[in-house]
């Protein structure tokens, strides 16, 4: 579900490092290619031929380099140039970014389709104890009833510009790795500032392969995005955590939102006077669906893959990063669940966090299982041996690349020091709303004291509105008792670190005593002397100068100011790592490209991509074949009346009707979800799935469990993404909530049950 | 696994009622036909056509009535008359009964193939703390090393004779229902005695449909059956309780035993002088295997189905029988597991009981789930309404059948009184070895005092050897501490019954105090004053007269003698129920046959049957298709090194070899298990699966979870049985244990790895 959200680490690094997480955040790119077919692959029944590979998350700007004839042979009917032509745009212009998710414009009046889990926070923020929109769902009767998205921002992509030379020219030889990052950031800030001088532009510079190239991405930012339709979680998230990341799936994880603009058509903040936004392009919806074996494309903004890692980095993932995160998330979830039991008022506030953590936990476990099963580490070592042989073949290669891999691996190993502390610190500053607010406020105030161009990326004037909006919007997610229990866990864990890794200011605050009793005493004091959990007080602090804050008697502000040297040291170390990798990784990637001589796609980095796959089932294990479609009848069969298999009554009543225009023989009745081998990852949530004609047929929302490890390499046998069939969405709009105006806007003729082309079925 | 054993109730009723459990044990036959395709059925992918139905467990004597042309069209190549011709025999003569299981003769020297779980007790009885044959497996180096089966008995079928008229003639009109049963028993005893006057004969009379007909079955009983090969449980029972009753499956649940006879070829008890038994017919093994869509036959002795129940009886199953059993077994298993933790010496003794109880527990749960899912109760009610309409159509029908259903249902409802106590009493007398031995010994002694022809069936001279052998053989399953804890549970449960259902003699023994402390005090005394857990003492008591036993100071003997009036009253009530059903059910079944006008097969009753099915996968739920073959590679992928997924090292080493003559493209490598839609139930364990030519290609050992409810009705979509592929057995014999002599005896040329026809594969 949340699955195709970008990961918690991304959120975390915003809090701690103020970096745009769409930048290469270091440490995790490397050796290329598809995973070896695992042991399971041999279980593929003979009668099920492997579909053409869907590998590759292709930048829109690279489509001209693809083999169009081969794609046409697979069923592509629209010209690649019509999908996207640099400088001109194309059909993909209807695909937008949506805060860690993707979305698509599906009407000339700014209606956008995305996942339910991508607007989960907005639903939470619009809920009240008397009306829980997550539980009850929501459908605006008309446009006047559409609800303020409270933080939903959409980015419509306009232009990509290669700025590699300009960025690299800003970095003289011989500077330190930290200096290198700071100089790159400075160059990027200048480029972004120029770009945003044009009205209504929002720009970012993205590093590809840790700095082999840099691209400026120019977007139109839409900040008035309103909730139009969201099904109840009982349908959108049917199966809950049990089914999350798994096939077969029976949820309809969708929501409709609408972008608004000022009356003159330009982007604007929320205002009752705004009017629907008219996008340059919107997608056509197809009722035809797709069948097994047909081509399907998924377009969106995948966040992060790790296809080109070194063996040392895979080792870090397998033996440290994922196991450490899994243990942390387990404890954290346990604390929030216990708090929800003890203090029921906390449940609504912490629901979204529990959902995120659960999602990340399953991801971590799936990655560990997948890495172990696929033998990625052994394969990396074999590939690196092959690379060494290739380099040894000519003196030129030896001269050019001979040391690249050794240097990269040596650096990775050397940079392991302090990683446990840095990870805990990062999550603590995100996980405790007290720490998070105090950090954001004091960091903002410190940067405010500097000229805008000299401030850290993420803390410039251009970021002010977003930061203030976040400080406000987070109110619905705050519960002091839950916050306190989570912070207690982090303090205890920080206290368990070797003393050399302790944070001196915490040792001081706790007098070196990290016992449960001492922590409780300290937290009594901390939470008794803060006003940061109060919305107005928090915003008031945000407007204070750093000098005023330094004299504050707010306990969280005082604690964070005391810890600032340690936090900034950790952040600088990280920037130094990023700088080192931007020096060491690109030549190695260059050698890989030279060695393979194949078409190359860069790791996902949050920039717009498209993947070309085929509708196909798969064999998760010996004796089992997952068929590529599920149906409404399957949902009814799984319904138990107990969460997470508790479908709403109106859905069950509609499902019990004999006839529906949305029935098909692809599934056994009304189709719900389907599988393809498109190459996706977190950030692809909400991505439209298009048929060969470029018509919208589905909505990406997850990957299968066996494909969680796909971030480390594409597996033709097991890499499968999960989409909602658009006919399930239309069925819900038509036969459950009778949203005739919306259906008309989507180009559909509603009312099938009463007057439509219904076929008689045999339920 | 134990799955296709006949149920615990069968074992239980031997202990309590002394009846041959192969008789109709009453109360559970009724309304006919296949289950309605459940909700899941619609998930069948379009590309997977439903195979021809495998419904029907056909008595061997009824084959002439089948549509041979239709079977030929499905792939039958052997003539039905060659399978079995009444009075002559046929290929099926190679299929034998094996104490609640089935088996087949596979060599002219008496080698028999059956399931590992069918010889589990024999393996346990041949184990010692230093050599656990269940864990380690066993393979005799030559015939001299074959181990005494200690209780394994095989029955080779010779002749069926319809004795309906003779039995019914023995019952005058107007007798009581109890008298009716006793008169039927008397007639059966006389028929059996005549039959067994022929040398080496073992005979039984079986009731079909509770007494619509009676058939005398004449067999050759082989009592010297020795263990030849049994794989370690890590292979035979790979997946353990987790995989039990489920697909996909990766165990090779097989064992080879050998029947011996006296030097003159006649059956004889175990003796070192015995020689291999030469059967009239033995099966040929095929290396060709079968493919999806091919015909396969399963022949054996299915124990009990309930296809023709009334709605009142289905209600009893759904609301009482299975839920009550499930709760009892859960507690019982928990007690034995706890005892195994507290007193590790008890583990080996209780292993087989825990296995049986687990198996029965999963069966109960699966039946409850299946009954609920399939809506069997609602369907029965609809069918009964249709039956009433049919009867109302003509005055003749009204006269002949008008009251049959009402009378049957009224009787079923009236006979619910006391059922909780009777069920507990039955299980207590089986579950406590103290009670079990005391009951067997005193009942035997009481019956001994009567002329042989007047004794109860099961306690005649012809039963003496079996009873004494059981009293001996059970020694390896006895652990007094485990026994005591189980008995404590039964006493507590009997104490919880409404006081009207209490057993007066127990109330007296416990002074009406069923508190835990009082039960413990009572058991202190009981277990301190018995010698029945000692083998020699127990056998000595078996040889004592009832008068001597009445003066015994053994506490268990005294308790059981005191309880005897209550036990016999319960047994008489049961016999009266059986009598009533033998009066009420047959006319109703007759009406069903008349109404349907279809070919009719009687419910399974322990007699030899054959079913004609097709190798086929199935859709257990929406989005999932189970493919019909598993492979050795699938086992390797599931191996974790931790039970129950802990394959033996030699198996893993052999599986890692690149080439094997047993590889096939049906599975992905060496096939392990496969599915068909043959119609099977408990008692079919160990049944051979034959191809269209009548060659042995597999070994039935289980059903799938969705088919546990198949006892109540065949479902063309979900009724699937699980077989070991014979090539997995040959692979194990050849490439793991190198049993060359056995392979030669099976008609195979061994040694493929070293010198054979190995194909190169791509593991």
What's the mean pLDDT in A370-393?
A: 91
Cβ-defined contact of A633 to B42 (cutoff 8 Å): yes
Query: Given an 8 Å threshold on Cβ–Cβ distance, is B627 in contact with A631?
Result: no
Look at residue B206 in the predicted model and tell me its pLDDT. Answer: 98
**Confidence (pLDDT) at B49:** 74
Rounded Cα distance between A372 and A382, Å, is: 16
**Residue-level pLDDT at B666:** 73
B557 pLDDT higher than 70: yes
| Residue B44 confidence (pLDDT) | 35
| Residue of B259, B110, B95, B141 whose CA lies nearest to B746 | B110
Residue B2 and residue B117 in contact, taking contact as beta carbons nearer than 8 Å: yes
Write down the catalytic residue from B62, B104, B432, B685.
B685
Which two tokens mark B732? 């194990």
Q: How confident is the model at residue A50 (pLDDT cuts 50, 70, 90)?
A: confident
Work out the burial of residue A708: count CB atoms within 10 Å of its CB; fewer than 13 is exposed, 13-18 middle, 19 or more buried: buried
Contacts of A56 (CB under 8 A, 6+ apart): A599, A601, A611, A612, A679, A714
B636 reaches A (C-beta below 8 A): yes
Task: For residue range A262-286, list pLDDT tens digits in order.
Answer: 999 999 999 999 999 999 999 999 9
Would you state the structure tokens that stand for residue A742, as one six-digit string?
Answer: 């919306």
The pTM of the whole model exceeds 0.90: no
**Stretch (H or E) spanning B148:** strand B147-148
Question: pLDDT tens for residues B80-111?
Answer: 999 999 999 999 999 999 989 999 999 999 99
Give the chain B residue nearest A248 (alpha carbons).
Answer: B623
Q: How many CB contacts within 8 angstroms connect chain A with chain B?
A: 103
Q: Is A546 on the interface with B (CB under 8 A)?
A: no
Q: What is the pLDDT of residue B348?
A: 87
* Residue A55 in this model has a pLDDT that exceeds 80: yes
Question: Of the candidates B117, B115, B121, which has an alpha carbon nearest to the alpha carbon of residue B2?
Answer: B117
Task: Give the CA-trace dihedral at A499, A505, A511, A515, to 10 degrees.
Answer: -60
Q: Which of A591, A612, A666, A586 is nearest to A634 (CA)?
A: A666
B685 noted as active-site residue:
yes
Contact between chains at B634 and A621 (C-beta distance less than 8 A): yes
The answer to whether residue B285 scores a pLDDT higher than 60 is: yes
CB atoms within 10 A of CB B128: 9
Could you tell me whether strands B58-59 and A721-725 are parallel, antiparallel, or unpaired per DSSP bridges? unpaired
Chain B residues within an 8 Å CB radius of A45? 627
Q: pLDDT value at position A48?
A: 62
∠A725-A731-A736 over CA atoms, to 5°?
140
Give the model's pLDDT for residue B750: 55
Contact A624 B622 (CB under 8 A): no
Contacts of B87 (CB under 8 A, 6+ apart): B159
Q: Does B641 touch chain A (CB under 8 A)?
A: no
Mean pLDDT confidence for A327-338: 97
Q: Are B273 and B263 contacting, i.e. CB atoms less than 8 angstroms apart?
A: yes
For residue B619, pLDDT beyond 90: yes
Which region, left, alpha or beta, applies to residue A271 given φ > 0 means left and ψ of -120 to 50 means alpha? beta
* Distance in angstroms (rounded) separating the CA atoms of residues B217 and B318: 33
Task: Read off the pLDDT of residues B727-741 as tens digits, 9 standing for 90 and up.
Answer: 999 999 999 999 999
To the nearest whole percent, how much of chain B has pLDDT over 70? 92
As a whole number, mean pLDDT of residues A623-646 equals: 95
| Catalytic choice (B3, B23, B116, B117) | B117
In this prediction, residue A5 has a pLDDT band, given cuts at 50, 70 and 90, of: very low
- Among chain A residues, the shortest Cα distance to B665 is held by A46
A743-752, B224-233, B706-715: segment of lowest average pLDDT: A743-752
From chain B, the residues in CB contact with A249 under 8 A are 623
Tell me which chain A residue has its CA closest to the CA of residue B626: A624
Contacts of B635 in chain A (CB under 8 A): 622
Helix axes B433-448, B419-431, angle to 10 degrees: 100
pLDDT at residue A595, rounded to an integer:
92
Could you give the angle at the alpha carbon of A490 between the alpha carbons of A484 and A491, nearest 5°?
85
Range with the poorest average pLDDT among A228-232, A276-280, A755-759: A755-759
Task: Supply the pLDDT for residue A657.
Answer: 87
Q: Which of residues 614-633 of A touch B (CB under 8 A)?
A: 617, 619, 621-627, 629-631, 633
Chain A hits for B668, Cβ within 8 Å: 42-44, 622
Contact B644, B651 (CB under 8 A): no
Work out the average pLDDT over B337-352: 92
pLDDT at B121: 87
A127-141, A586-600, A738-752: lowest mean pLDDT where?
A738-752
Q: What percent of chain B has pLDDT over 90?
A: 84
In B, which residues are within 8 Å of A638 by CB distance? Answer: 621-622
pLDDT given at position A160: 96
Task: Please give the positions of A annotated as active site.
Answer: 117, 253, 685
Expressed in percent and rounded to 5, the helix, strand and coil fractions of chain B are 50, 15, 35
> What mean pLDDT comes out for the span A421-429?
97
Please give the pLDDT value at position B328: 98
Chain A residues touching B702 at Cβ < 8 A:
none
Tokens of A240: 């809950």
Contact (CB<8Å) A626/B623 = yes
**Residue whose pair of structure tokens reads 């022809």 in the numeric block:** B453
Beta bridge partners of A162: A215
Please, which pLDDT band fits residue B16 given cuts at 50, 70 and 90?
very low
Residue B14 is predicted with a pLDDT of 31
What is the sign of the dihedral through the CA atoms of B621, B625, B631 and B634? negative
Within 10 angstroms of residue A174's Cβ, the number of other Cβ atoms is 7
Q: pLDDT-derived band of residue A181, with 50, 70 and 90 as boundaries?
A: very high
Chain A residue closest in CA terms to B664: A46
Burial code of A359-390, b = ≥16 C-beta within 10 A, e = fewer?
Answer: bbbbbbbbbbebbebbebbebbbebbeebeeb
Contact A633 B250 (CB under 8 A): no
Q: Kindly state the tokens that stand for A157.
A: 């992509």
How does the average pLDDT of chain A come out, rounded? Answer: 90
Residue of A623, A667, A722 to mutate for B, most B C-beta atoms under 10 A: A623
ipTM for this prediction: 0.83
3-state secondary structure (DSSP) of residue B479 = coil
Query: How many other C-beta atoms are found inside a 10 Å radius of the C-beta of residue A756?
Result: 16
CA atoms within 13 A on the CB side of B444: 25
Considering chain A, what percentage of its residues have pLDDT values greater than 90? 83
* Nearest chain B alpha carbon to A247: B623
The pLDDT, as a whole number, for residue A753 is 37
| Smallest Cα distance from B707 to chain A, Å | 17
pLDDT given at position B620: 95
Q: Please tell me which residue of chain A has the smallest CA distance to B373.
A: A637
- Per-residue model confidence (pLDDT) at position B18: 31
What is the per-residue pLDDT for B641? 95
Residue A25 banded pLDDT, cuts 50, 70, 90:
very low
Residues of B in contact with A624 (CB under 8 A): 248, 624-627
Q: Please report residues of B whose CB lies closer than 8 A to that of A44.
A: 668
The pLDDT assigned to A750 comes to: 55
Quick one: tokens of A295?
Answer: 């081509």
Q: Is the peptide bond before B437 cis (omega within 30 degrees of 0)?
A: no
How many Å lie between the alpha carbon of A671 and the closest alpha carbon of chain B?
11
pLDDT band (50, 70, 90) for residue B171: very high
CA dihedral A234, A238, A242, A245 (to 10 degrees): -130
On whether any CB of chain A is under 8 Å from the CB of B45, the answer is: yes
Which residue in chain A is spatially nearest to B624 when comparing CA positions?
A626
Report yes or no: B668 at the A interface, CB cutoff 8 Å.
yes
Q: Chain A residue closest to B762 (CA)?
A: A42
Average pLDDT over residues A6-15: 33
Burial of A273 (0-12, 13-18, 19+ CB in 10 A): exposed
B329 touches chain A (CB under 8 A): no
Site of tokens 């161009």:
A453
- The answer to whether A46 contacts B665, with C-beta atoms less than 8 Å apart, is yes
* Residue B452 among the catalytic residues: no
Sequence length of chain A is 763
Q: Which residues of B touch A42 (CB under 8 A)?
A: 631, 633, 668-669
Q: Burial of A508 by CB count in 10 Å (0-12 exposed, 13-18 middle, 19+ buried)?
A: exposed
Chain A neighbors of B638, CB-CB under 8 A: 621-622
Whether B116 is catalytic: no
d(CA A151, CA A566): 31
Q: Which of A623, A630, A665 lies at the smallest CB-CB distance from B622?
A: A630
For position B591, what pLDDT does the model report? 95
Q: How many CA atoms lie within 13 A of A456 on its CB side?
A: 20
What is the least distance, in Å, from the CA of B82 to any CA of chain A? 35
Condensed to tens digits (0 to 9), the pLDDT of residues B350-406 reads 988 998 999 899 999 999 988 888 788 998 999 999 999 999 999 999 999 999 999
- C-alpha triplet B495, B500, B506: angle, nearest 5°: 40
Is B382 an interface residue toward A (CB < 8 Å)?
Answer: no
Nearest chain B residue to A762 by CA distance is B42
Least confident of A218-227, A596-605, B288-297: A596-605
Q: How far is B378 from chain A (nearest CA, A)?
A: 17
Domain ranges of chain B: 2-34+56-279, 312-590, 609-755
Position B320 pLDDT exceeds 70: yes
How many residues comprise chain B? 763
Task: Answer left, alpha or beta for residue B131, where phi above 0 means left and psi between -120 and 50 means alpha.
Answer: beta
Each residue's pLDDT tens digit, B653-683: 999 987 888 988 777 789 999 999 999 999 9
Contact A626 B625 (CB under 8 A): yes
Give CB contacts under 8 A, 24+ apart, made by A350-354.
Answer: A350/A477, A350/A479, A350/A482, A351/A124, A351/A134, A352/A120, A352/A121, A352/A124, A352/A477, A353/A477
SS (H, E, C) A274-338: CEECCCCCCCCECCCCCCCCCEEEEEECCCCCCCCCCHHHHHHHHHHHHHHHHHHHHHHHHHHHH
Q: How far apart are alpha carbons B130 and B744 in whole angstroms?
A: 32
Is A516 within 8 Å of chain B by CB? Answer: no
- Long-range contacts at A383-389 (CB < 8 A, ≥ 24 apart): A383/A31, A383/A33, A384/A31, A384/A310, A384/A311, A387/A31, A387/A591, A387/A592, A387/A595
Mean pLDDT taken over chain B: 90
Task: Count Cβ atoms below 10 Å from residue A454 Cβ, excluding itself.
Answer: 11
Shortest CA gap B634–chain A (Å): 5
Chain B residues closer than 8 Å to A724 by CB: none
Question: Taking residues B684-713, what's their average pLDDT?
Answer: 96
| CA distance readout (Å), B681 to A289, B127, B710, B712, B724 | 43, 30, 8, 11, 16
pLDDT of residue A540: 97
Q: List, for residues A105-134, the tens digit of each pLDDT value.
A: 999 999 999 999 999 989 988 998 899 999
- Closest alpha carbon to B572 in B12, B175, B176, B214: B176
Using the structure block, give the residue that is written with the tokens 């479902």: B715
- Are A63 and A84 in contact by the 8 Å Cβ rule? The answer is yes
Query: Is the pLDDT higher at A665 or at A644?
Result: A644
Q: Which residues of A662-701 are buried (b: 16+ CB within 10 A; e: fewer)?
A: bbbebbbbbbbbbbbbbbbbbbbbbbbbbbbebbbbbbbb
State the smallest CA–CA distance between residue B139 and chain A in angstroms. Answer: 29
Q: What is the pLDDT of residues B492-533, one digit of tens each?
A: 999 999 999 999 999 999 999 999 999 999 999 999 999 999
Report how far residue A624's alpha carbon sits from residue B477's, in angstroms, rounded to the nearest whole number: 38
Residue B752 pLDDT grade (very low, low, confident, very high; cuts 50, 70, 90): very low
| DSSP label at residue A645 | B
């Amino acid at each position: 579900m949340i699955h195709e959200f970008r990961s918690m680490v991304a959120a975390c690094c915003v809090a701690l490092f103020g970096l745009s997480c769409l930048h290469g955040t270091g440490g995790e790119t490397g050796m290329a290619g598809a995973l070896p077919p695992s042991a399971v692959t041999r279980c593929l029944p003979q009668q099920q031929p492997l579909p053409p590979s869907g590998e590759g998350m292709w930048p829109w700007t690279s489509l001209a380099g693809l083999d169009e004839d081969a794609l046409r042979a697979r069923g592509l009917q629209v010209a690649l140039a019509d999908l996207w032509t640099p400088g001109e745009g194309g059909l993909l212009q209807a695909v937008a970014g949506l805060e860690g998710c993707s979305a698509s414009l599906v009407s000339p009046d700014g209606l956008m389709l995305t996942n339910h889990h991508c607007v989960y926070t907005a639903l939470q923020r619009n809920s009240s104890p008397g009306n829980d929109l997550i539980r009850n769902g929501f459908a605006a009767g008309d446009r006047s009833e559409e609800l303020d998205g409270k933080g939903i921002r959409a980015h419509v992509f306009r232009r990509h510009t290669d700025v590699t030379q300009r960025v690299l020219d800003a970095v003289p030889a011989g500077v330190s790795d930290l200096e290198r990052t700071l100089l790159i950031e400075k160059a990027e800030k200048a480029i972004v500032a120029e770009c945003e001088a044009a009205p209504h532009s929002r720009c970012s510079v993205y590093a590809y392969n840790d700095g082999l190239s840099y691209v400026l991405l120019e977007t139109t930012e839409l900040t008035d995005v309103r909730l139009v339709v969201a099904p109840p979680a009982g349908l959108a998230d049917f199966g809950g955590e049990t089914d999350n990341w798994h096939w077969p799936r029976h949820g309809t994880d969708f929501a409709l939102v609408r972008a608004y603009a000022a009356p003159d058509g330009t982007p604007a903040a929320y205002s009752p006077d705004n009017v629907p936004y008219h996008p340059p392009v919107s997608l056509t919806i197809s009722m035809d669906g797709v069948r097994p074996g047909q081509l399907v494309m998924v377009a969106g903004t995948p966040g992060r893959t790790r296809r080109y890692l070194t063996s040392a980095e895979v080792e870090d993932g397998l033996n440290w990063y994922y196991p450490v995160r899994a243990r942390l998330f387990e404890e954290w979830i346990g604390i929030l669940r216990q708090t929800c039991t003890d203090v029921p008022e906390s449940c609504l506030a912490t629901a979204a966090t529990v959902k995120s953590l659960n999602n990340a936990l399953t991801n971590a476990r799936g990655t560990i299982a997948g890495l172990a099963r696929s033998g990625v580490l052994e394969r990396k070592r074999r590939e690196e041996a092959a690379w060494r042989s290739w380099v040894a073949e000519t003196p030129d290669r030896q001269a050019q690349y001979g040391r690249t891999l050794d240097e990269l691996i040596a650096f990775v190993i050397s940079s392991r020091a302090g990683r446990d502390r840095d990870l805990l610190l990062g999550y603590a500053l995100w996980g405790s709303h007290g720490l998070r607010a105090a950090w954001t406020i004091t960091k903002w105030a410190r940067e405010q004291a500097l000229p805008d161009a000299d401030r850290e990326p993420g803390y410039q004037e251009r970021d002010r509105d977003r930061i203030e909006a976040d400080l406000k919007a987070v109110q619905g997610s705050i519960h002091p008792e839950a916050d306190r229990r989570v912070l207690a866990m982090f303090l205890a864990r920080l206290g368990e670190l070797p003393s050399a890794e302790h944070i001196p200011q915490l040792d001081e605050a706790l007098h070196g005593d990290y016992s449960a009793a001492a922590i409780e005493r300290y937290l009594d004091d901390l939470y008794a002397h803060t006003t940061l959990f109060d919305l107005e007080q928090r915003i008031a602090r945000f407007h204070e100068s750093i000098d005023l804050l330094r004299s504050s008697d707010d306990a969280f502000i005082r604690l964070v100011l005391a810890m600032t040297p340690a936090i900034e040291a950790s952040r600088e170390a990280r920037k130094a790592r990023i700088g080192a990798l931007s020096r060491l990784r690109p030549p190695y990637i260059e050698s890989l490209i030279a060695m393979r001589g194949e078409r190359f796609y860069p790791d996902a980095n949050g920039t717009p991509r498209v993947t070309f796959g085929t509708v196909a089932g798969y064999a998760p294990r010996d004796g089992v074949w997952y068929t590529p479609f599920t149906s409404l009848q399957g949902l009814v069969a799984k319904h138990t009346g107990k969460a997470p298999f508790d479908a709403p009554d109106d859905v069950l009543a509609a499902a019990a009707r004999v006839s529906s225009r949305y029935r098909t023989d692809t599934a056994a009745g009304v189709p719900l979800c389907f599988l393809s081998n498109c190459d996706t990852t977190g950030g692809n949530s909400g991505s439209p799935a298009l048929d060969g004609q470029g018509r919208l047929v589905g909505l990406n929302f997850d990957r299968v469990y066996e494909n969680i490890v796909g971030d480390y390499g594409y597996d033709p046998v097991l890499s499968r993404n999960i989409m909602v069939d658009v006919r399930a969405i239309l069925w819900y709009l038509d036969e459950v909530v009778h949203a005739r105006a919306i259906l008309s806007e989507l180009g559909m003729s509603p009312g099938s049950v009463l007057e439509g082309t219904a076929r008689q079925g045999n339920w």
